[in-house]
Amino acid sequence: MRKAPFRIAVFASGSGSNFQAIADAVKAGRLDVTIELLVCDRPQAKVVERAREAGIPVFTFNPKEYASRQAYEQEILRQLQDKQVELVVLAGYMRILTEVLVEAYWGRMLNIHPSLLPSFPGLHAVRQALAHGVKVTGVTVHLVDGGLDSGPILAQRALAIENGDTEEDLEKRIHPIEHDLYPQVIQDIVQGAIDLDRIAKDHNSTIDRMNNP
Ligand code: GRF
């Protein structure tokens, strides 16, 4: 078992309550990682304040100042490599990723999504679940591939939708589940209970079989 803590980066765009949950778990000794960097595309976002308070280095950028998505992702990739980041944790990062980051971190990049994927990918997942009238929804942590919330699933938790629930009611119940689940999944990765190498390899073989039947 390795001694050095895992080096992670968190990407977020907004409030950053999931970032906070991860930072708190590290501080409390429940999560054996170091957060090397917060990456944020909105310099005014609350998550930036949270990172500064926690003493975590921040890289903010304005996408409009770059010629392309690939251009800012190259810059992010340089920063991640500089800090020898091993695992990228997306936590409410609202930008579509390109092959620059997806390929560099395939099998080493996670996302959390507020539905039981593959149901309701994309924006407003909670609203989509309510609009469909499903009785159960939940939270998914998955590996990031090139698609929309489509990579291999690592963990899920379900919750019941009660009659009369609003989007706000549901979000209030989903958030604490996320805050509990995400640090736990990361710790499972650190301890080898979730084997990302195997999961990524199995996924690659499945895709190969589908392409060459
Ligand atoms: C979470 O609901 C997460 O599932 C989704 O974006 C939201 C981020 O919330 N990907 P926060 O910024 O961590 O509070």
CATH, residue 31: 3.40.50.170
Same domain, 125 and 83: no
pLDDT score of 1: 55
Mean pLDDT of 19-25: 98
Last residue of a domain, one of 53, 72, 105: 105
Q: Which residues surround ligand 1 with Cβ inside 6 Å?
A: 12, 14-18, 91-92, 112-114, 178
Enzyme catalytic residues: 113
Token pair, residue 194, equals 């979730």
Q: In what order do the strands lie in the sheet with 87-90?
A: 58-60, 33-40, 6-12, 87-90, 109-113, 136-143, 153-160
Expressed in angstroms and rounded, the spacing between residue 183 Cα and the centre of ligand 1 is 14
pLDDT tens digits, 163-200: 999 999 999 999 999 999 999 999 999 999 999 999 99
Q: Model-level pTM?
A: 0.96
The β-bridge relationship of strands 87-90 and 153-160 is unpaired
Burial class (CB within 10 angstroms; exposed 0-12, middle 13-18, buried 19+) of 109: buried
Expressed in angstroms and rounded, the spacing between residue 12 Cα and the centre of ligand 1 is 8
How far is Cα 182 from Cα 141, in angstroms, rounded to an integer? 7
* Tally of domains in the chain: 2
Range of the domain at 189: 113-213
Same domain, 30 and 71: yes
SS3 assignment, position 42: coil
